[in-house]
Amino acid sequence: MTESKDQRMLPKTGLFVDTEPFWKGTERGELMLQYCADTQQFQMFPRPVSMYTGRRELEWRAVSGRGTIYACTIVRVPAPNLDASRLPLSLVTVELEEGVRILGNILERDPESVAIGQRVELAWDPISDEVRYPAFKVVED
């Protein structure tokens, strides 16, 4: 682990529901989300049941990672477990092409120039030498 990453908190995984497919996906470079086959809809965050049916018939499927910024802010204030070197941090809600929203960070761009309606694609944010987390990049037109 490099020194600059020491302060990034590694997520505690699988405590809420089994999220192994999500984390295995990050290793392969795929964004894996929970999918309700009955209603053919994704849900984010992963849940113990389908939020559409209340049933446990859930699977995991890869999404494109392409979408549009639905809401955006710039986090400017440090918090416990939020590394101050990440500030100002571009935080957005992305509406993915698959019809589901996900919270994420926009990488490699001045947070001031991030705006609602911009198209984004999947990017990877290294949390440590071993772990990376899904993030987004603005697609330049």
Partner 1 sequence: MPEPNIVIAGYAETPIAFKSGRSAYDFGGEAFASLLAATGVEKGRVDGLSVTAPLSECANPFFAVYVVEALGLSPTWLNYGAIGGCSATGGVARAAAAIRDGQCSVAVVLSADAPSTYWGPRYGGFRFEFQDPVGLMSPPAAFGLLMSRYEYQFGLSFEALGKIAVTQRAGALLNENALERFKKPLTMEKYLESRMIADPLRLLDCVMFCDGGNAFLVTSEKTAKELGIEKTVRPTAYAEVTNFNGNQACPDITETGFSEVAPKVWGQSGLSPGDIGCFQPYDDFTIAVMMQLEDFGFCPRGQGSDYVLDTDLSYQGEVPTNTGGGQLSAGQPGLASGGLNLAEAVRQMFGEAGERQVAKTGSALVTGIGVIPYGRNWGTSTAMVLEA
Binding residues vs partner 1 (CB under 8 A): 9, 11-13, 15-16, 19, 22, 41-47, 51-52, 70-77, 79-82, 86, 89, 91-93, 95, 99-105, 116-117, 127, 133, 135
CB-nearer residue toward partner 1: 10 or 29: 10
Spatial separation of the C-alpha atoms in residues 102 and 43, rounded to whole Å = 9
Shortest CB 119 distance to partner 1, Å: 15
Based on CB atoms, which residue is closest to partner 1, 17 or 139?
A: 17
Nearer to partner 1, 116 or 139 (CB): 116
- CB distance 85 to 103 below 8 Å: no
- The 8-class DSSP code of residue 70 comes to E
CA–CA separation, 33 vs 119, rounded Å?
Answer: 20
CB of 82 to partner 1, least distance (A): 5
Show the DSSP H helices in 1-141 as ranges: 20-28
- d(C-alpha 44, C-alpha 125), whole Å: 19
